[in-house]
Copies of this chain bind each other. A is one copy, B any other.
Amino acid sequence: MAKKVKKMKAEQEEVVTFHYDKVGDFSNWFTEINKRAELTDQRYGVKGLVVFRAWTTVTLKIMYRLLEEDLEHHGHLPVIFPALVPESNLIKEAEHVEGFAPEVFWCTRSGADNIFDEPLALRPTSESAMYPLYALWIRSWRDLPFKRYQSVAIWRYDTKMTRPFLRGREFYWIEAHDVFATAKEAEEQVLEDLAITKNFVQGHLAFPIIVLIRPQWDKFPGAVYTVAGESILPDGRFIQNSTSHMLGDNFARAYGVKYVDENEEEQYAQQTCFGPGLSRMYGALIIMHGDDDGLILPFDLAPVQVVIVPIPKKGAKKAVEARCLDLEVILRKAGYRVHFDNTEKRPGEKYYHWEMRGVPLRIEIGNREVQDNTAIIFRRDLRSRNTIPLDKLVKAVKQAGKAVTKELWRRAKERFDNSFKNADTFDEICDIINQNKAARISFCTLEMKGLACAEKIKDATGADIRGVKLGENEKPWGLCPMCGEPATVVAYVGKQY
């Protein structure tokens, strides 16, 4: 029996090699990392629905908490609305229903044969669930501003190719829905939303954001305009982290969200909504920082921040393990998420396992470290090793943790800065897109009459006009390369996920 067990162990311990060129073969890299790091399972059996495994979920929960805290800091309170929305609510705002109706999952019966009088939509977004209640709650200018958010799943029957995190039929976000007396306040909220996104993504996820006003043909259905916080993945594609929509009084008129102003006159309210897509941001996070050995996670977001691996030589197993145990206690007390890997696996297998999962720091303890009262700190990002005296360990972990995140930011920022290239002609646009970059062009207009130019670019390259930088008033330098009309804006052009 003992023999059999040994054989099984040996099988289990075999280190499977993982080497995909992330840049050259992104699609395989992404599929493999999902499997090897046990991020998602795509064998759930329904297209576009994936299972988030523990490693993903722990980080996603940390992300939720950070973002919720910041929203609350900015005056939002949490609420929970039902996931099911009656059809009659959904159809009240004409553009909104036109935009979302084709993607709605409909719940039409219970049990075998209790057909509902009115079908219920699984929320594709919650305006139509929330605003009828907002109409009841908001009465006076004293109730404003009114800022609420909910952290929920949403469902959209997307017919494009689905991919874990980036594009699915169920995804996890926060939606904040705010009401104001004036358009000015609402527009300020849109800026605040984007500042919250920027702080979160740049500060915690450690990659840059570009804030773009979307063209009129690509705004949120029912909005006056839409602003997006976007990033550029290493393959040059845009990914939308969050959007914030200036709704004006469009929804207020459809759902009756009114208030009595200081002159006792009834007014339609001005509204905004904000949707940071957390499961998608998690996808961006792993793609942005991962390498050919697996994930690399920013220190604050890693489920395990420090893994301790014993490297015992013969005879010293007990002393090495005791030391590891001590360090685990010390680091846990210092507030870190630390894991002592005392399984039977060989050190090399442990390295592989935790590197694949992106644990930012590894502490290695062998006989020498026990004797010298030192520890080796391995940094996942640089693959560097440093020997540290034990009495400086806690401080060294803190510094190294920060340094990992900083290095990830540096790399992402460098790539980001090299992601854009100016184009003056249609051919140049095509070239830039083919080089997996984003083009920066003088463009006729983001109003609806610019759509024809956008479609020509789309047909030729698969790239979209993603929008115009918010608040920077960039000056166009030539005519629109597509229609030859005078350009009114500098537009960013690229493929997207």
Contact = CB atoms under 8 A, between A and B. Distances in A.
A60 B80 contact: yes
A177 interface: no
A84 B49 contact: yes
A86 B45 contact: yes
Given A12-B140, A132-B45, A170-B82, A102 B112 contact: yes
Contact of A133 (B51, B103, B104): B51
Contacts of A44: 81-82, 129, 132-133
A263 B1 contact: yes
Interface in A139-154: 140, 142, 148, 150, 153
B83 A153 contact: yes
A54 interface: yes
Interface string A437-456: 00000000000000000000
Interface in A113-163: 114, 120, 122, 129, 132-133, 136-137, 140, 142, 148, 150, 153, 155, 157
A10 interface: no
A78 B155 CA distance: 21
B106 A78 contact: no
A11 to B, nearest CB: 10
Interface string A241-264: 000000000000000000010111
A107 interface: yes
A105 interface: yes
A58 interface: yes
A496 interface: no
The range of chain A's interface size is 35 or more
Contacts of A105: 84, 107, 109-110, 120
Contacts of A110: 102-106, 157
A133 B355 CA distance: 25
A50 interface: yes
Contacts of A133: 41, 43-44, 51
A77 interface: yes
Given A12-B140, A45-B89, A120-B46, A51 B78 contact: no
A52 interface: yes
A387 to B, nearest CB: 33
Given A86-B45, A132-B45, A264-B8, A79 B53 contact: yes
10 contacts: A1-B263, A5-B262, A46-B82, A46-B86, A50-B82, A54-B77, A83-B153, A101-B112, A108-B108, A122-B122
